[in-house]
Each structure stands twice: as structure tokens, then as C-alpha cells.
Chain A
């Protein structure tokens, strides 16, 4: 592959595009597929054939368009019209109306804040390009960042641009990406590795799944640029086995990139070679922790080890290893294409760029969104999310999954970035955002997360293994209405010891949901303990409990 060949592919693709009058884009990400968008796509193709429009009209599968709750979604590329909840039998009407007024009863309003308030960098191609065709990605400036890095920048310059961008790790902790890249680049080692963490284990998060299904090449390109910057020639991408579609698209994407010479030996005729292999996760939340993930890639039990030494120094097979999450790598190609300063101009002083959130729970518009850092929670939930359905009242928003916390109403106007979320006792996390209304019991929610941490604890260190179990027992007592004030004191004491003495991030953050709900919803705990009453009516206490026995 030469630079000219890359540009040629893009031109050919754009020409073909211009010759098409109408392109119907059907969402083929897992959300819409589960509501049978594949059948919609099939029947749209049949209708085009039937009406003799094969020469001028095309149907293509694209990635996630965001508004999962309204799927299956179909967009008309040329006009921007968007159809929602499309059934296979709607296909004929849609096809017949191409070039005319869109079918009114199916139209999804794209002027609503859900669409207009977003800012897309990571998701710029999601819902636009056919994720199964590398040519479309190339036509959308794909692999130009890699080309630029390899042909006109040295390694230090790449690291410098990433540093300048102010990008912080999107996996949760928010470590400055440029600093990490610089450390791995400087680390001494004959062999180095790049690992992409796609083990999206947070329940309630599906950003990485969507990115991998919708725009896999973007992640591969980001990894290759990372490999060049740190001096690695082998990359691994660790994906959950629970995401079969993402795994398939990734594997196909790797083959396509290898075929075109965008991965493999001497990329763009330079001395840089880079290969990527997929490694399947197997259902262990702890493997999101980087040292546990490395153990898993090595084929072992996914148990973390104490850091330091950090993977940047001693990672996979004890070699210096760069580990970033899917969304972090997905930000890299546009940063290299447009420069670090461009990226740093988006967001706030402390949080640069955008963040992808998976919006779910008690909110009207559930789905995937990308917003600039610094946007307020209120804007996300009430404008983009459309507020709480069924006339219910907002109670809390949970961010960061089992490692995060529940944020109450008084902080809705707070800017969303790493530091302000930490200040109120939660974390940015990987981007899961679950809205809860008055029908959720916060003690029950805390118990839910503790049960999660307890069953996901790897069992290596004592405080996490036994401490989470004891905390779960205590929370169960509270939700049963049989707990005492002493039990609550013991729970708080356990939160402290588990947080401060556990070996890895799972244990250190496991108390967060309890701590944050105790901080903001202590009255609910008290109602369970003193009045034997669940204010939200979720927990079966006293008489109710007796009745169900």
C-alpha cells in the first residue's frame, strides 16, 4: 500500500457514492439487530430490486445511530431523513417514497436535542459508514492519521501530539494518555506490546461494543499509531466473548486491513510493521483491570498483581506494554489528523474532548451519546435524554458502574468531567450512565452492586474476597429490615478497610456505591433500619416478607 493507493481507494469510493441517488442506511449494531434490523435490511433490498431501482439506490448496513430505544433505525444518507421502529413490511413504503416526502408515520425527529446536542468525534463514522467495508472507512479519511504518523512524524512527535491533546484514558481512571505513551516509549525492552482493553465489564455500559461494531477500523488505526509511537510491533485487542458481533467485525476488519497492507509488514513502505490479534475475554469483570487483563491474554486466571511495576514498564510477558481502552484508541486517528491542539480546544480546562456515554435506565431516550466534556448532567438527562418517562421523579444517576457512585439531584448542574465526578463521590468510569427514578431503592441498588463485586472478586486478596461478602450480608440484612445501627457502623467500617487495603481497583472501588448512597440517601438506609420500611417499595420487609414466604 502506498499513499497514492490509499487516496485512490478513497476517490473510487466517493465517486461510486456520487453515482448513487439514494442510500438507505440500516443500523446493524447489536441493539437494532435484536429488534430485527437485519430483516428490515433484507426487505428493503428486495423492494429496491422489485421497483427496478438497483442502479440508483443502495441499501447498506451501518453502525450504531445512537437512539437504540427507537430501533430498528433507517436513515436516508442523501437527505438525512431518519426512520424509527421500522418493520420489514414498511420497506415498500420507504422505497416508494425515496426522492419524495419521507414516510411521515415513521419519521424520527432529528432536530430534537438528542441529535443536535451531541458532538461526535469517536462516533463520527458510527451510523454513517458500512462497518464491514474498509473502503468506506478509508473514504471517510480513515488510515490517514496512520499515514501521517508514519510518513511525516517521528515517534516523539506522535507522543507530543497526544500529550498536547490533553486526552485522558477513557477506561475510567483518566490517566493522561500522552504521559502513558511517553513512558512506554521510553521504557527499555527488546519487545513491546500494545493492548486494547475491550473488556467492557461494567453492567450498563455498551460504548465499546458500539464502537467496535460500528467503526472497528478506527480502533485498529489508533492501535497501530500507538504501536508506532511506543515502538511495538504486536498488538492484542481483548474483547468480551459476550459481544459476538463486535468480535466478528473486528476479525473481519483485521483481515481487510492486512489484505490492503495497512497492518502487517512495512506499512506504507516504511520500516514499521504491526500486527493485531483478537483475544477473547471469558466473562470476568476483574479482567478490565490491566494486570488481570494481561494475565488473561497470557492464558491464565485473570488475577491482578500489585502495581508497581506498571505495565508500561513490565506488562505482557514482562515486556513494556501500552494498554488503553477502546474509546481512547478511537480518539487517536482524528487527533493525529487534526493535531493535538484541535482536540484540546474541545471540552473544558480539565477535561478535553468528548465522552461517549451509554444512557440507560429511567430515561426516555436510551442509547449511545457522545457529548463534549463539561456538559451538565441535567443537559444529558433532561435534554438529550428527554427526561424521566411516565411522569416519575428523578432520584439519582449512577455513573462508573460497580466502581462508581449515585449522584443525587442537587448536583445535576455540575459539569461532567473526571475531577468533578470524583468530587461528588462517583467516577467517570467507562461511560455507563444509569438514570434512576423514585421507584428505585438506593439500598437495593447498593446491594445489587455489592453482589456484583462479590461474585466478580477474583479471590486473591483477603479484604476484597471476604470483605465484599460480609458487606453484601450486611446490606441484605438492611433490605430485609433486620439490621441494627451496629450493623450499619460495621458496614461503614468495612467500606474503609476494603477501599484502603484491597490489591486492585476492583476491591478499592467496590465500596463506592455504598459510600455514595450512604452520603446522599442515608435517610433511606435509616427507614429500612429504624422503621422497617422501604420508601421506594422495592424491598420486601416485615409483613410483605411474611406474606411471600
Chain B
């Protein structure tokens, strides 16, 4: 039996899909490159939406439910768009005993969102993470990809306030 399963067309003219395709091609469009492909999508689009999941699933010939299962198994992947700014509070052991819960509490208080959420105006996403290995400088917070060391609740809220008012 010959099945004519051609590679799916790119979801839109957006040139960034070509980068996704390149990642999948580099791995010979094999099913085991699913996680690598999802990493690429998230890196360039910021999150994994339905269109992207379907495109990757078809390209790699992986069942839709399997793609969704993988995308929701790993914490690093997000199915929702993130805010303009992201603040990741480390909740690893060292940060925890050095006051990370208080930092998170202070941030929740002024941003009025919980970890994993984004403010309604899409300005800010707050995430709590499991240790990014900066334990020697605990407590650590990542503001837009930059690690800040020995953060105090006051310093964190100051930064957030500036973002929210910008």
C-alpha cells in the first residue's frame, strides 16, 4: 500500500516556520526529534499554540495526542503566550531557605497574579522555577532572562513596578 503523505505546508508566510523546519530536517524528521522541535518553536514564538503543535505533529508523523502529552509533561513548555516581561523566581532549596517565598509573595502582592499567570494587560508573567543552579547566590530571580543574585523582596518589587508602569 502506498500512502501519499506529503510534508505539510507551512502554517503561514511567517519566515520563522522555516527555522522550525530546519530543526526537524537536521534530525531527519524523525519522531524522536519531537522535543527538539518543540524547543525551537517555543524559542522563536514564545509558546506552543495549536497551529504549531499540529504542524510539528504532521511533519514528524507523531500522533496529535502524543505531541500534546509531551508538550504538557515538561514544565519548560508553555501553551499560553507569555507577557512582555517575565520574572522567574527560583524556588530551589537554597533560595527557599534564604527567603524566596517572601519574594514571590511580594511579587504576587503587587502584580496580583500567581506563578504561572500573566497579567491581563500582558505586561508581566510570573513563573516559579525549580533551581537554575545559582544556589551560591541565593535567592535568585531571573528578570527577562538575566539572573539577579541575592535578591530582596524590595528589589524585586521595585523592578516589577517599573515594568508595570512602563
Contact = CB atoms under 8 A, between A and B. Distances in A.
Tell me, yes or no, whether A and B come into direct contact in the complex with CB atoms closer than 8 A.
Answer: yes
Interface string B44-81: 00000000000000000010001001100111110000
Interface string B146-164: 1111000000000000000
A281 B36 CA distance: 9
Contacts of A367: 136
A464 B119 CA distance: 34
Contacts of A279: 35-36
Interface stretch (A30-38, A52-60, A143-151, A170-178): A30-38
Contact of A283 (B74, B148, B149): B74
A300 interface: yes
Interface stretch (B4-12, B14-22, B126-134): B126-134
B124 interface: no
Given A280-B39, A283-B75, A283-B130, A68 B94 contact: no
B111 interface: no
Nearest to B77: A282
B97 interface: yes
B149 A440 contact: no
A205 B135 contact: yes
B136 A206 contact: yes
B36 A280 contact: yes
Given A30-B134, A242-B76, A366-B136, A432 B93 contact: yes
A103 B8 CA distance: 64
A432 B96 CA distance: 14
A445 B76 contact: no
A301 B70 contact: yes
B129 A34 contact: no
A296 interface: yes
B103 interface: no
Nearest to A300: B70
Nearest to B35: A299
B47 to A, nearest CB: 13
Interface string B15-49: 00000000000000011111110110000000000
Contacts of A520: none
Given A35-B137, A69-B137, A358-B136, A285 B94 contact: no
A109 to B, nearest CB: 18
B132 A360 contact: no
B104 interface: no
B138 interface: yes
A300 B92 CA distance: 26
Given A203-B92, A432-B93, A434-B94, A452 B148 contact: no
B98 interface: yes
Contacts of B137: 31, 34-35, 68-69, 71, 366
Interface string A397-426: 010010000000000000000000000000
Given A282-B39, A283-B75, A361 B93 contact: yes
A299 B60 CA distance: 11
B98 A361 contact: yes
Interface residues of B, number: 40
B107 interface: no
Interface in A466-522: none
B32 A299 contact: yes
Contacts of B96: 203, 448
Interface string B84-118: 00000001111011100000000000000000000
A167 interface: no
B116 to A, nearest CB: 11
Interface residues of A, number: 54
A282 B74 contact: yes
A241 interface: yes
A281 B75 CA distance: 10
Contacts of B135: 204-206, 358, 360-361, 366, 432, 434
A202 B97 contact: no
A402 to B, nearest CB: 9
A35 B149 contact: yes
A448 B95 CA distance: 12
A152 B109 CA distance: 65
B132 A243 contact: yes
B46 to A, nearest CB: 14
B70 A284 contact: no
A203 B130 contact: yes
Interface in A47-99: 68-69, 71
A251 to B, nearest CB: 12
Given A30-B147, A69-B137, A302 B130 contact: no
B130 A201 contact: yes
A206 B133 contact: yes
B138 to A, nearest CB: 6
B29 to A, nearest CB: 12
Contact of A301 (B69, B146, B148): B69
A368 B130 contact: no
Nearest to A34: B147
Contacts of B93: 203-204, 360-361, 398, 401, 432, 434, 448-449
28 contacts: A31-B136, A34-B140, A34-B146, A34-B149, A69-B136, A204-B93, A204-B131, A205-B131, A206-B131, A206-B135, A209-B133, A242-B133, A282-B77, A283-B77, A299-B30, A299-B62, A300-B70, A301-B70, A301-B73, A302-B74, A358-B135, A360-B93, A361-B94, A361-B97, A367-B136, A432-B93, A434-B135, A458-B73
The 7 A-B pairs of least Cβ separation, nearest first, read: A68-B136, A203-B92, A283-B75, A206-B133, A282-B74, A34-B147, A204-B93
Given A204-B93, A300-B66, A366-B135, 5 more contacts: A34-B147, A242-B129, A242-B132, A299-B62, A358-B133
